[in-house]
Each structure stands twice: as structure tokens, then as C-alpha cells.
Homo-oligomer: A and B are copies of this chain.
Amino acid sequence: MKDTKIPYKIYLDEKEMPTAWYNLRADMKNKPDPLLDPATGKPVTAEALGQVFCRELVEQELNETDAYIPIPQEIRDFYRMYRPSPLVRAYCLEKKLGTPAKIYYKFEGNNTSGSHKLNSAIAQAYYAKNQGLVGVTTETGAGQWGTALSMACAYLGLDCKVFMVKVSYEQKPHRREVMRTYGASVTPSPSTETEAGRRILSEHPGTTGSLGCAISEAVEAAVTREGYRYVLGSVLNQVLLHQTVIGLETKTALDKYGVKPDIIIGCAGGGSNLGGLISPFMGEVMRGEADYRFIAVEPASCPSLTRGSYVYDYCDTGRICPLAKMYTLGSSFIPAPNHAGGLRYHGMSPILSQLYHDGYLEARSVKQTDVFEAAEEFARVEGILPAPESSHAIRVAIDEAKKCIETGEEKTIVFGLTGTGYFDMTSYQKFNDGKMSDYIPTDEEIAASLALTPKF
């Protein structure tokens, strides 16, 4: 017997929360191609990965067989601090649009880090602690990942060293201060603390840094320091695995009310939130139990799925991390400076790349100004100020709901609302002042960047 009236917000009981992450690769017909060692061009070994990443995380990264991986109790306790996150029925938005569609969104912004990143940050920090490590290093650009990781490390008493792209460090002092409040040390990158940083500073004096450079510094800081490892906030299989907590909760909440989605939508940068949201549903598709449409939404300024190539490429601009087979714009691709917020990654998670390649996943690219228009429309009726990243999903959800007005179809649309935009008001101001512009890379720019991908 199912409830018929759906509340505005569906909160699961704590006992309904997932006790294991779902490993989609176990059910995928075509598994993603393996990571390659940049030194040998051969599949990277667990031993080599273990120099950089924590032991248990390496196992998760390479595990293609276990469909469920238990969530350790300490992580489940932490999840209970801010989860279950609400699955919201967007009654107010539906009414505003006048659509017969039923719109739901899974809201991951109700924690201080402001995004879904915390789901993986606590897992990665936990395994580091469990391995007896002293601390972890990472890089951060927009700052959501660094914030999430510093929260997780504060909770576990683990040292946290964040290399923050210098231009962000200076332009986003508030993000930096949240990390410091959580006890992290935040270093503007490039810095004189690492060989990589010193080299870049001598070659490009006055540079404001890049994500690629910050990754190089964070990895170097981890491998040259006793008791440290490097952690990464997206792209990797392990990160998508941890993020399945989003999709598992969503599915349990929908099942509870007998709701079956028609379309599931998420924004995609490195792909961790979208992968986490769709995994349990995609698993049903793989097992022939159900059918859904899945849409990845990416910025027109960084369109890796819609305009990239499916090839082996470096995961980092510095070319020191393993190579992944993925949709990529080339590791030297940098989105135009007018692009706001995250979703700036040149590639896409190998799992999502494989799914897209095999036709299970659609992709759509949207323009920045259209995204902020959707963000503002959403904020005014749903009462949540969305992050620019999350607003890519809002844009397409609204577009699909508007199609239903024309067709009269009562489609059920579910999208992921990954975070809040409190630290993005400079971009909102640009939009409010009519000073925001769009930039779409030319075919030549993308081709030039892609020409530099390695041949494997």
C-alpha cells in the first residue's frame, strides 16, 4: 500500500539510509577501460596507485566485481550528521511553470560545505585515518571540494593541506576562511613549498596558477611527506562509488511513494554527482529491470561529452596522474575566464564516458546566461539559492517540464541539486547587472587542445 499524497520534502528515516555503496561497474555490460600508468603505458597496478592514494581506496578504484561495498560504521555516523538529504517535490516550481510534469530534486546543499562533495570527502578521510596516516593533501579551485575535505578532516582529527589556485585564493577569501575555520592549512598555488611550484614560479613569474599546477603540488606534497596521501574530489571510480549514497537515498524515497521517474538529470563536471545519482537506476537498466532517460548537463564553455573525443588522456594538466579513457577536450583545455563556478574539468569520469559511449546516457550543453536565468527563476519560487554548477541541471529540468506543457505529458522528472550558491554572489551580481556573457569554444580551439592528447 503506497501513500498517495507526496509531501513537499521526503526525508527517509535513519534506518532507511543505505548501509552499502552501490558499485555500478559490477553490473555494467561494458566496463570502463583501465587507468594506464603514464610511465609504462600499461594498466596501472594497485601498488603504483598505493604510492599516491590510500590502500582501501585503491581497492575500491579497481573493484569491478562487488556490486555492494559496505559503508563503515564511522562514515555512516558522519552521514547521519547531515543526511538523509531531502528529496523535494518542486510543487512551487511546477505551479509557476504551469506544467503537468512532476518535478523532484535531491538537495545536497544542506551541509556547511554546501555541496555533495562531503559524501566522498568523509569516506576518503576515513580510509586515510584508518591506514594510520597523519594527513591528506588536495587541490581546490572554486573551493567546494577543499571545504568538504577540511570538514571531514576536522571531524577525524586528520591534518588537511589544501593547495588553492592562487587566483581563487585571492578572489575568494571567504571560501579560504571556511577551510581555515575547519583547521585546514591553505596554500596559494603555485607556492615555494614544492619543486613543481618553484619550477612554475621561475618559468612564469607572476602567474595566478591553475588547477593543473595545484594538482601537481598536492601530489608532490603527498608523496614526499611521511604519512600523507593525495585525495581527489571527482572523476575517479571510488568517488562515484561514494556518491551513490545520493542515488540510493533517492531511489528509496521514490519507491516509498511508488514513484517511477521518466527522466533523471544532473550537471556534469568530473561526473561524480551525476554518477552517484544515476547509478542505482542505471543498474536496473543494466539488469533489464527498468528503463529511464538519463541526461548529463554540461556548460557550453566546457563541453567534454558533447564536443570532446573518447580517447585516453591525462587526468591532470600536469600530466603526472594516470591516464584515463574518457570523453575529453584535451588536458590542456582551459574554459574561458568568463565561465562562472565549477564544471571546468577537461574530461569526464570513465564510468560516465563508457555509458555515454554505449548510448545509455544523453548529454546536453547549456549556455551560462540561460543557466543563471533558470537559477534565479528557481530561487524565487523554491526558496533555495542554487550553485551555478547545480543550476545547469535546473535549466534542463525546466526545459523538459516546459515540453510537457506542449505535449500534455505528466512526466516525472528527477534532478540533482548539488549545492548552494552563497559563495557565488559575484557571478549572480554580474548576471543581475546584465554583465554576464557566454563563450563557446570554437572547433579549432578544441581540435588544438585534443591534438595534444597522447596516443595509446
Residues of A within 8 A of B (CB): 7-9, 11, 13-14, 77-78, 80-82, 91-92, 110-112, 114, 118, 151, 154-155, 173-174, 177-178, 180-183, 376, 379-385, 420, 422-423, 425-426, 428-429, 432
Q: Which residues from chain B contact A110 at a C-beta distance below 8 Å?
A: 110
Q: Among the listed B177, B422, B428, which residue makes an inter-chain contact with A429, where contact means beta carbons less than 8 Å apart?
A: B177
Q: Which residues from chain B contact A182 at a C-beta distance below 8 Å?
A: 379-380
Copies of this protein, total: 2
* A432–B379 CB distance below 8 A: no
Q: Which residues from chain B contact A376 at a C-beta distance below 8 Å?
A: 181
* A11–B11 CB distance below 8 A: yes
Q: Which residues from chain B contact A385 at a C-beta distance below 8 Å?
A: 112, 178, 181
Q: Which residues from chain B contact A82 at a C-beta distance below 8 Å?
A: 383
* B425–A173 CB distance below 8 A: yes
Q: Please name 28 pairs of A and B residues whose Cβ atoms are closer than 8 Å in the assembled complex, sorted by A.
A: A7-B13, A7-B14, A8-B81, A9-B14, A81-B92, A81-B382, A82-B383, A92-B155, A110-B110, A111-B383, A112-B383, A112-B384, A112-B385, A112-B420, A114-B422, A118-B383, A151-B380, A154-B379, A154-B380, A154-B381, A155-B383, A173-B425, A174-B422, A174-B425, A177-B426, A177-B428, A177-B429, A181-B425
Q: Among the listed B13, B151, B425, B426, which residue makes an inter-chain contact with A383, where contact means beta carbons less than 8 Å apart?
A: B151
Closest Cβ of chain B to A43, distance in Å, is 38
Interface centre among A9, A77, A112, A114, by most B CB within 10 Å? Answer: A112
* B382–A429 CB distance below 8 A: no
Instruction: Provide the bound-state CA to CA distance between A11 and B17, in Å.
Output: 14
Closest Cβ of chain B to A273, distance in Å, is 19
* A80–B9 CB distance below 8 A: yes
Instruction: Provide the bound-state CA to CA distance between A154 and B151, in Å.
Output: 33
Closest Cβ of chain B to A86, distance in Å, is 9
Instruction: Provide the bound-state CA to CA distance between A385 and B425, in Å.
Output: 18
Q: Which chain B residue lies CB-closest to A380?
A: B154
* B81–A379 CB distance below 8 A: no
Q: Which residues from chain B contact A423 at a C-beta distance below 8 Å?
A: 422
Q: Which chain B residue lies CB-closest to A15?
A: B7
Instruction: Provide the bound-state CA to CA distance between A181 and B82, in Å.
Output: 27
Q: Which residues from chain B contact A174 at a C-beta distance below 8 Å?
A: 422, 425-426
Q: Among the listed B8, B92, B114, B177, which residue makes an inter-chain contact with A432, where contact means beta carbons less than 8 Å apart?
A: B177
Q: Which residues from chain B contact A383 at a C-beta distance below 8 Å?
A: 78, 81-82, 111-112, 118, 151, 155
Q: Which residues from chain B contact A379 at a C-beta distance below 8 Å?
A: 112, 154, 181-182
Q: Which 5 A-B pairs have the closest CB atoms?
A: A174-B425, A154-B380, A8-B80, A422-B422, A177-B425
